[in-house]
Amino acid sequence: MDYKTNVMRMLDKHKIKYKHYCYADTDAISGLEVAAALNQDPKQVFKTLVTVSKSKTYYVFMIPVEKELDLKKAAHSVDEKSIEMLKSKELLPLTGYIHGGCSPIGMKKYFTTTIDKSAQDFDTIIFSAGKIGYQVEMSLEDLEKIIKFELADITF
């Protein structure tokens, strides 16, 4: 593959091992469609969601594409009373990513990140490479070399 996203370049720079996938030539939009296009288990393909608390603190959550974020569990996991999903139009100025191409790696600034504990069930997880049509696959151990995160039960 000739094309590299900023996420891939960052991983290369830090000598972190990963696999990459391209589904840009498909009609896949939703996380489940992406998992199907890549012929991967939707339990292993994660979406990156950005939320905001009442105090205007931002949080990143990564969950399997087949699941929904439980806002109560997610808020509890970061010691907040409540959180809500960030509006799509606020995503690009805040993170540098657009809806559908948001990666936990390479955001404009680091936000507290929580990954659903189901990620531990796999040797690797697959998530956005920071651009619609591109995904990366890596172990949690390798991901931890580039971003800090906690694991928690955050889905329903």
Nearest one of 137, 139, 115, 106 to 23, comparing CA atoms: 137
Helices and strands in the chain, H and E counts: 5, 8
Average pLDDT (115-122) is 98
* pLDDT at 156 exceeding the cut of 70: yes
Given this model, what pLDDT does residue 78 score?
Answer: 97
Average pLDDT (91-103) is 96
Given this model, what pLDDT does residue 114 score?
Answer: 98
Per-residue pLDDT band at 3 (split at 50, 70, 90):
confident
Given this model, what pLDDT does residue 127 score?
Answer: 98
Given this model, what pLDDT does residue 1 score?
Answer: 54
Average pLDDT (25-52) is 96
Residue 48, phi then psi, degrees to nearest 5? -110, 120
CB atoms within 10 A of CB 57: 13
pTM, two decimal places:
0.96
The CA distance from 64 to 39, in Å, is 15
